[in-house]
Structure 1
Amino acid sequence: MRARVVAAALLAPALACVAALGLAGCGEEDAVETAAPDESAQPALSTQAAPEGVDTQHAPTPAQLRVPEDLRARVATLMVVGVADYDQARFALDQGVGGVIIPSWADPALLTEPGRNINALREEYQRPFSVAIDFEGGRVQRHTQVFGDFMPPRALAGTPPEVIRGTGWDIGRSLRAYGVNVDYAPLLDLDVAGLDIVGDRSFNGNPDEVARVAGLFSQGLIDAGVTPTFKHFPGHGRASGDTHLQLAVTPPIDDLRGSDLRPYGPLLAAFPQASVMMGHMIVPGLGPEGVPSSMNPEAYRLLRTGDYPGGVPFDGVVVTDDLSGMRGILDYAPTMDAVARAIGSGADQALWSSGADLPRIIDHIVWCVQNGYIPEARIDEAATRVQQQLISVGL
């Protein structure tokens, strides 16, 4: 009960914050017990050597954590922004962001040009930061001319276990070679409603099969030193539409508990070092009516407590889905408003692919904290999680 009260209290400050600045506002039964996937088909812990500097076994000590003391610097570490070229990446890193994402429209030279690529930036900045990309295979794989071309997840699911894990390894090694260390994959959404945005991006319509294949694929990524990201919590497979185009509504939360949520428990138990991407779907019966999950404290509480069949508590990094490139969210709230609401509600990383207005958005979140609209403890909690992930895997 206390968790629900605290979560609800966090949403109110974020909403009050944007209201105070006069910004645009809102526009935006018996559960089936989860059976863990067949252990015989699950990946064992990797025996491959991880890339140099990657420690996949030990959590960082407090002395190793690099959580900034300055409030603005702490807030900046919660931002993940799209960068199209080397100069934009340098600007974002100069602002202190904790991560960047390589969008489809980025100049490939950001990955390949000696002295002006991601690897050069790592040498220059001498601090950990994440570089993420959407690379599922099939329809969603960015910059294949650099990273290679891989089969769709649905096709991959039909291959032997060693091929699934090996594909994760191949993708991960290719990403890591060019400085990318977070993959916004695998997708855990179930293909059960004929949604085109899901389709062959989904491994299957059966939650246990999704968990099995996603586990093998994720182990391959981790073997290669890349952090997998499970998406889109709490499940987009039966939503009313595509959140890239409009706000979408899922079946009630009690229905999701028996199906869409089922892959998360066994996977988060096996891969606590993974990230989770919070989707933008509205879930009836979950927190405030009409609020997208990415801005809904109850969605974060559900994930953190594992309050669903087979669920486990999760204390890793939670990143939002794109807060600038999806019509559904932009119709609900402008990006600066959405970032404040997401962080205030429980997100550790606010992601927007445009990267626009970065300094102003950082300053806005600082203002919200200084004026009591977002608790500083919320910033500290998120910044610590982000740094723990960066340090523990050598990012």
Structure 2
Amino acid sequence: MVVGVSNYDQARFALDQGAGGLIIPSWADPGLLTDEGRNINALRAEYDRPFSVAIDFEGGRVQRHSGVLGDFMPPRVLAGMPPEVIQGTGYDIGVSLRAHGINVDYAPLLDLDVTNLDIVGDRSFHGAPDEVVRIGGLFSQGLFDAGVTPTFKHFPGHGRASGDTHHQLAITPPLEDVRGLDMVPYGPLLERFPHASVMMGHMIVPGMGEDGVPSSLNPEAYRVLREGDYPGGVPFNGVVVTDDLSGMRGLLDYTPTPEAVKRAIVAGADQALWSSGTDLPYIIDLVTGAVMSGEIPMARVDEAATRVQQQLIDGGL
């Protein structure tokens, strides 16, 4: 479980409950990054187990706490820069994140900007899959060189969705159309970066598993990603994290956060993410009960924990 925390005390509480990861949301106290003795680095010194700390930091309009971590150009602008600048920007972002205890970046975005969807827009590198692969690869290499794990998002592809999942559930073109275009960047990048993470989006893909189920809760979406069942796809055994299960109206209108966390783990998520961080003890009890009843097989929990642990080892934690 990856939960949002606003300050040092909330972070300690989440870790004491057994959360495996934290996410630093935009509304967090910047002191969580800067206050000596009460920041993420202090928590890392205090706890004798590794844990992930993630943030949304793409550059441009999605860069949390830029007053502390730095201000970087939007991905679309970065895409027009020379290769060394693209990779160097990824590295500079990674160095700043890592210095503040953050070891996972929920970037780069691989969604294709092909329908002028505002939520994608200049967050997208390009509308052509090969260019997204080229630019995303350079940016990701920079993050890796700085010791930060990149996260490719939002599988299976948000670029042609019917709207913004922050506000309502969005529907993509049919599965075969999405396979042939939106998923294409993932194969080459996951082949090159098998230790990256992938974020599973909330989009509904017609023809993918049960009708009307968001990808983040849909076992078939995880199967397609794991098996590389799309053009140029490769099998992927790294960490898959959900998009936010608490801060996006589309998903909340479908099911409340506690049930979404449970269903995401059943479906195949290795990390269930909710930025509000609320109800953590209750959700832990809910998931534990589902394991004890057999609704969530113990093998599902074991494989998820193993992947997360391996990512932390690969990241030097």
Whether the TM-score (by the shorter chain) exceeds 0.5 is: yes
Task: Within 5 Å, give how 1:214-233 maps onto structure 2.
Answer: 214-233=136-155
User: Aligned-pair distance for 1:126?
Assistant: 2.1
After superposition, the C-alpha distances for 1:143-163 in whole angstroms (9 at most, x for unaligned) are 011011000000000000000
The answer on whether the counterparts of 2:20 and 2:51 sit within 8 Å (CA) in structure 1 is yes
3-state SS of the aligned residue for 1:131? Answer: strand
Could you list the structure 1 runs, at least 4 aligned residues long, displaced by more than 2 angstroms after superposition. Answer: none
Question: For residue 105 of structure 2, what is the aligned residue in structure 1?
Answer: 183
1:383 to 265, 290, 305: 305
Instruction: Tell me which residue corresponds to 1:80.
Output: 2
Distance in 2 separating the partners of 1:238 and 1:293: 15
Deviations along 1:157-191, whole A, 9 cap, x unmatched?
00000000000000000000000000000000000
Q: Deviations over 1:247-297 (max 9, x none)?
A: 000001100111111100000000001000000000000000000000000
Specify which of 311, 318, 334 is matched with residue 233 of structure 2.
Answer: 311
Distance in 1, Cα, partners of 2:296 & 2:283: 14
CA distance in 2, matches of 1:293, 1:193: 20
Letter in 1 for 2:270: D
Rg (Cα) greater in structure: 1
Distance in 2 (CA, whole Å) between partners of 1:117 and 1:211 is 35
C-alpha distance in structure 1 between counterparts of 2:17 and 2:115, whole Å:
42
1:128 equivalent in structure 2 = 50
SS at match of 2:278: coil
Alignment of 1:198-217 (within 5 A): 198-217=120-139
TM-score (normalised: structure 1):
0.80
- Which residue pairs with 1:359 in the alignment? 281
Residue of 269, 272, 292 corresponding to 2:214: 292
TM-score, length-normalised on structure 2?
Answer: 0.99
Measured on the aligned residues, the alpha-carbon RMSD in Å equals: 0.5
Is the 1:128–1:394 contact (alpha carbons within 8 Å) kept by the matching residues of 2? no
Residue from 15, 23, 27 that aligns with 1:101: 23
Provide the aligned length of Structure 1 versus Structure 2: 317
In structure 1, the gaps of 5 or more residues are 1-78
* Maintained 8 Å contact 2:195/2:238: yes
Give ranges in structure 2 of 5+ residues lacking alignment. none
Matched, 1:261 2:183: yes
Do the aligned residues in 1 keep the contact of 2:104 with 2:151 (CA within 8 Å)?
Answer: yes
How far the C-alpha of 1:127 sits from its partner, in A, is 1.3
Judge conservation of contact 1:164–1:216 (CA < 8 Å) in 2.
yes
Q: 205, 221, 230: which one pairs with 1:283?
A: 205
Q: How far apart, in 1, do the equivalents of 2:80 and 2:165 lie?
A: 28
For residues 291 and 155 of structure 2, what CA distance do their matches in structure 1 show? 27
Instruction: Identify which of 65, 74, 82 aligns with 1:143.
Output: 65
User: Is the Cα contact below 8 Å between 2:103 and 2:315 reproduced in 1?
Assistant: no
Return the alpha-carbon distance in structure 2 between the equivalents of residues 258 and 365 of structure 1. 36
CA distance in 1: counterparts of 2:206 and 2:15, whole angstroms:
39
Report 1 or 2 for greater relative contact order, CA contacts < 8 Å, sequence distance ≥ 6.
1
Name 1:50's counterpart in structure 2. Answer: none
